[in-house]
Amino acid sequence: MAARSTVAVAIALIISGCYTAPPNVAGHWQGRHPLPPGGVASEPVRNTLERVNLIINANGKYTMVWRGLDIAGDYHVAGTKVTLTPKTVRNRPVADLGEGMREFGATRHLQSHDGKLVGEFEGVKVVFTKI
């Protein structure tokens, strides 16, 4: 009897619009994380370093190239929030990263909004679009 009640409540929530399906985040995403002014000699190099490529696989794994570094790990979706938990940076375990590399091994929280993923990288808002 309890199982029928649970199913009935779930159906009622879906019909009433109170339920929001988790976003389908699997795919290739691209964002832009601007560099501070100056420091990079050419525009093509600057554009490459500012581009953030994120590939989210349906198996719970992701890879990301940020500032030219390969980052890989696991992700979790809860509601409209996507949490990226890196396991390796340049094929090195996150636990082995030195002080200057810790930012690349930090857990990231992205929010799904209007078909985009939005997060913060080094205090700067990065908007990812699916490509």
Long-range contacts of 56-65 (CB under 8 A, 24+ apart): 56/25, 56/26, 56/27, 56/29, 56/82, 57/26, 58/26
Domain count within the chain: 1
Predicted TM-score (pTM) of the model is 0.78
Return d(Cα 95, Cα 88) in angstroms, integer.
9
Q: Take residue 27 and report the two structure tokens written for it.
A: 């795919």
CATH of the domain at 118: 2.40.128
Residues of the domain holding 38 = 24-130
Q: What is the pLDDT of residue 131?
A: 94
Q: Is residue 12 part of a domain?
A: no
Q: What is the pLDDT of residue 7?
A: 55
Q: What is the pLDDT of residue 38?
A: 74
Local mean pLDDT, 10-residue blocks, the chain (131 residues): 55 48 82 83 86 95 94 95 96 89 91 95 93 94
pLDDT tens, residue by residue, 12-27: 444 444 444 456 899 9
